[in-house]
């Protein structure tokens, strides 16, 4: 009997293998701080005490009622009326530009890892998770589900989506009217993408009114600072052309600096508040900027 693994099986197993690694990291972080940071970032702290309930994995340790726990011999926490199940929607804007990477991983790979971290964190807090995968060729939707097993399966489906084809074009199809019908009002929408310089489009105001929109962007080191390496052959991920790009000229450096400024201005126009946008890098740990973002939101919510 042959035990060879087919390419299709590898493609299916790879997202699950990555999610297992990410889940271990999320659990380790949740035991110390991540669970509480996540809850406070999106829910705020309890404003009105409701009852005492058993402490479960992912609960904020700061809500533990130590007197009740000592009397009953197991952990109990205070529950507040404001607590509710959240719906988290991962909107992944998958474009050819995300296939760029000057280091060990591309921007697409880093964003997918962040998507996995967000999904697993939401699963640990007993929230619902769904996704909208938008590409130049169309979109793929998964309705929000609850429960760890279902959420892991949903996240694996997102991580296993094929890379967009260059011939389909540079921009993803974002059909907001369909998006409105797909996901419930007041959902937390984590919009992951490259966010090139572009004007705020029609329907954005209605989108922000219906959902809590959060932008998530990953920058390659070359997005921030173009190194002076002289003439370098490069593949344009949007056109597929191989170009001879002279990175050392003054003109190249100036045009890149202008692009960086325009991109950042557009980023802040889409998401004016620092509580609405998260920027991470392709190099290094991705959990750290996510936790920092949760803390920043938590502090902003409490003010």
Q: Is residue 58 domain-shared with residue 161, that is, in the same domain?
A: no
Last residue of a domain, one of 37, 54, 80: 80
Alpha-helix residue ranges (DSSP H) falling in the chain: 7-32, 34-43, 66-72, 107-124, 148-159, 176-182, 204-210, 221-224, 250-270, 287-302
Q: Is residue 115 domain-shared with residue 24, that is, in the same domain?
A: no
- How many structural domains compose the chain? 2
DSSP 8-state symbol, 135: E
pLDDT digits (tens, 9 = 90+) for 112-163: 999 999 999 998 888 999 999 999 999 999 999 999 999 999 999 999 999 9
Q: In the predicted model, what is the mean pLDDT of residues 9-19?
A: 63
Q: Is residue 47 domain-shared with residue 185, that is, in the same domain?
A: no
Q: Is 2 a domain residue?
A: no
Last residue of a domain, one of 41, 58, 80: 80
Q: Is residue 94 domain-shared with residue 62, that is, in the same domain?
A: no
Q: Is 162 a domain residue?
A: yes
Q: What is the pLDDT of residue 47?
A: 47
| Residue 176, domain extent | 87-302
269 vs 103 pLDDT, higher one: 269
The CATH number of whichever domain residue 168 belongs to comes to 3.40.50
Q: Is residue 64 domain-shared with residue 115, that is, in the same domain?
A: no
Q: Is residue 128 domain-shared with residue 221, that is, in the same domain?
A: yes
Residue 1: pLDDT band with limits 50, 70, 90: very low
Question: Which region among 81-85, 126-130, 139-143, 190-194 has the lowest average model confidence (pLDDT)?
Answer: 81-85
Whether the CB-CB separation of 7 and 105 falls below 8 Å is answered with no
């Amino acid at each position: 009997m042959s035990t060879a693994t087919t390419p299709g099986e590898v493609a299916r197993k790879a997202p699950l293998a990555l999610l297992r690694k990410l889940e271990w990291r999320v659990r380790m972080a949740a035991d110390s701080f991540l669970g509480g940071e996540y809850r406070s970032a999106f829910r705020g702290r309890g404003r009105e005490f409701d009852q005492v309930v058993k402490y479960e994995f992912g609960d904020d340790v700061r809500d533990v009622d130590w007197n009740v726990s000592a009397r009953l011999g197991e952990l109990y926490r205070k529950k507040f009326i404001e607590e509710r199940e959240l719906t988290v929607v991962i909107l992944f804007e998958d474009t050819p530009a995300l296939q760029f990477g000057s280091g060990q991983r591309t921007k697409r790979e880093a964003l997918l890892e962040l998507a996995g971290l967000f999904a697993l964190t939401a699963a640990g807090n007993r929230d619902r998770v769904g996704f909208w995968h938008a590409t130049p060729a169309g979109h793929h939707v998964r309705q929000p589900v609850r429960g760890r097993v279902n959420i892991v399966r949903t996240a694996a489906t997102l991580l296993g989506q094929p890379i967009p084809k260059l011939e389909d074009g540079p921009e993803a199809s974002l059909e907001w009217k369909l998006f409105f019908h797909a996901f419930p009002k007041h959902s937390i929408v984590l919009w992951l993408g490259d966010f090139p310089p572009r004007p705020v489009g029609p329907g954005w105001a209605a989108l922000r009114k219906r959902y809590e929109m959060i932008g998530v962007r990953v920058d390659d080191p070359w997005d921030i600072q173009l190194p002076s390496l002289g003439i370098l052959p490069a593949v344009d991920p949007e056109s597929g052309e191989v170009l001879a790009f002279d990175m050392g000229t003054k003109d190249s450096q100036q045009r890149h600096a202008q692009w960086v400024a325009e991109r950042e201005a557009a980023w802040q126009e889409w998401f004016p508040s620092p509580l609405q946008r998260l920027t991470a890098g392709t190099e290094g740990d991705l959990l750290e900027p996510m936790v920092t973002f949760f803390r920043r939101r938590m502090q902003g919510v409490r003010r």
